[in-house]
Every structure is written in structure tokens, then in C-alpha cells.
Amino acid sequence: MEPLRIGVVGVGHLGALHVKMLAEMPDIVLAGVFDIDMEKARRVAAEFNAKAFTSLDELLNTTDALTVATNTTAHHSVAMKSLACGKHLFIEKPIAHSVTEADEIIRQANEKSVIVQVGHIERFNAAILALEKYSIAPMFVESHRLAQFNPRGTDVAVVLDLMIHDIDIILSFVKSPVVKVDANGVAVVSDNIDIANARLQFENGCVANVTASRISQRKMRKMRMFQRNAYISVDFSEGLAEVFRLVGDEESSAKGTMMLGELGSGKYKRKIVYEQPEVKEVNALKYELNLFAKAIRQNTPPPVTAEDGKRALEVAHIIMDRISQQTIKL
């Protein structure tokens, strides 16, 4: 099997991590890097024994695929040029700056029959992976993603910077269209929204209350999901998942469960059990890049498709539209 040649476009903080992961992966050749800041490109390339190209066109001539970790505003232009050359793409979230741009990327990818995966990395958080054996069908979701202020990323609203992680996770679990969005937000220290809250209502009756802030004193990345007979808590920072369930006698003694109590009586009696699913140690970025390579080799859909990326972006833009009608700058 010929190794895949993958290049990296944009070698800022995240792009440099892409370079590091690709350099460590077997059956992958790090084809090189490109960044409009040539000094930065040369520095990162030298650290990982790669070549820094002076143009995107030159890099495209040597690769089978690219990972795109530029500023969001450049995603579309880089993607369209790469897709025109028939290159597979891994695009960091959000897929594009606008839904129209996302549509154009999807259309071009379909025409060229190439793989496009979107880097919604929280899909591969150890806590989320630990829930794979459960049937997740939440009817109420509450999430908080709070970060301390960092000037990096303030070129976009916190909805696109942080909240979109949780939007994507929620959409992946709630298999139903969003029918109503209410949202509020405030621009505090930047020219974009720095703290936001949204309430999403789905056609199946599920409601999600989503909060994101980049001006918090403490970090928090938590999600709680409530569904029939179960409550699921996810701590993305700790990589920890906890599940409380109502089960019958046959399940209450399963390995790894702790009985907390009983409800009902007779044939209606059920037991409340607590489980902390086994969490496997995983590097989420390396894992999603490995899955990208696997999708290319097997010509199968990637775990986070361009259409998934577009859906999360659509909801994010609806939230920002609602906020724009009432945003206050302090």
C-alpha cells in the first residue's frame, strides 16, 4: 500500500499540531507545509523535517490530500483551489465562513468525488467515544463551554469559535431538524460576540440550552443530556462520562454498574444504576486524522462529513442572526 502524502495549509497553533501528528503517523508522508507567513512555515517545517512551500500551488503538486488549518475566512478559497485539483481535504471547524461557501465546497467535492472531513474534534473526545455502546436519544440538553480570554480566535464570534463544538455534538445525537432558535449574546472585550446563550428546539420535542463564553474566570466544557430512563453527564475537559439509568434486574448486575436505589414495586420495579464507562486514552486530533486517512484509502464517508459541518454552521449562523438583532457592546 502506497503511503498517503498529506500537506498542511496554515501552521499557526493548531496547524503546527497537525504537522506534528502527521509526522508521527505510519503510512503517511508529510508532504510539506504552506503558510502566508513564510518565516513561520519554515520554522515549523524545520522542526518536523518537512519542506516549506512558497505557494499553495506548489504544495498541491506534491500531495494526495491537505489539512486546512488557516483562519476561517480562508477556508473557502483554499478548499476550492485544492478541490479543483482533486485533492482530499480535512478542514478545521467551522467548514467555512458562510453557509453559501460551505455549499460550494460540498458541490465541488461531489463533482470531483473526493473526501472532505470537518475537524469537529470533540466528536473524538474520550468521553464521547466512551458512550458508543449506549443508545443516546436526548430530549433535553444543557451544555456550558467557558474559556478564559485569549486574543487568538477573537476574529470570529464565540458562536463559531467555541459554541459550534457543542452544536455539532448535539446535532449528532438529536436526529431531528431544528425548528426554533432563541439566542442572546454580548460583545464585551472584542468586536465580536464574546458570550452567548442559545435555546434550540427540535421537531421531535428535544430542547437544548447551549452557553459559550471566552471571558470566564474558569474553564468549563460540560454537557448534560436527559432522556427516557437515563441521564448522561459528559466532562470534555476531564474526558469523563457518567451514566445514570433505570434498568431491569437482568441489567442491574452487569459489570461496571453500581446500584443506587429502586423505583416502583412488583413487576414494575426498576433499579437505578450508575456507570462510568471505560475511557480509552486517545489523542483526539491524531485519531480524527487517522480516520480521515482511512476514509481516503477505503473510499468511504468520513466520520464528520462536509454536510455535518454545514449543518452545524447553519445553526451557528441562525444563532448569530438572532443575537445581531439585540447584541449590546459593553
Give the HSE-up count for residue 289: Cα atoms under 13 Å, Cβ half-sphere: 31
Residue 330 has pLDDT above 50, yes or no: no
Residue 250 has pLDDT above 80, yes or no: no
> What confidence score (pLDDT) does residue 195 get?
94
Encode 301-330: b = buried (16+ Cβ within 10 Å), e = exposed: ebbbbbebbbbbbebbbbbbebbeeebeee
Give per-residue pLDDT as tens, 223-238.
Answer: 999 999 999 999 999 9
Neighbouring-strand partners of residue 201: 180, 207
> What confidence score (pLDDT) does residue 9 get?
98
> What confidence score (pLDDT) does residue 246 get?
85
How many other β-carbons are positioned within 10 Å of the β-carbon of residue 147?
18
Grid cell, residue 126, equals 474520550
Q: Which residue has the higher pLDDT, 151 or 313?
A: 313
Give per-residue pLDDT as tens, 64-100.
Answer: 999 999 999 999 999 999 999 999 999 999 999 999 9
177, 214 contact by CB (below 8 A): no
Q: Which domains does the chain have, with CATH numbers?
A: 4-121+284-303 (3.40.50.720)
Residue 272 has pLDDT above 50, yes or no: yes
> What confidence score (pLDDT) does residue 268 get?
64
What value does the CA radius of gyration of the chain take, rounded to a whole number of Å? 21
The whole-number average pLDDT for the span 243-252 is: 75
Amino acid identity, position 217: Q
Q: Give the contacts of 111 (CB within 8 A, at least 6 positions apart).
A: none
> What confidence score (pLDDT) does residue 259 get?
66
288, 129 contact by CB (below 8 A): no
Give per-residue pLDDT as tens, 12-57.
Answer: 999 999 999 999 999 999 999 999 999 999 999 999 999 999 999 9
**Among 156, 161, 150, CA closest to 216:** 150
Residue 254 has pLDDT above 80, yes or no: no
Q: Give the contacts of 274 (CB within 8 A, at least 6 positions apart).
A: 242, 243, 244, 257, 258, 259, 260
117, 288 contact by CB (below 8 A): yes
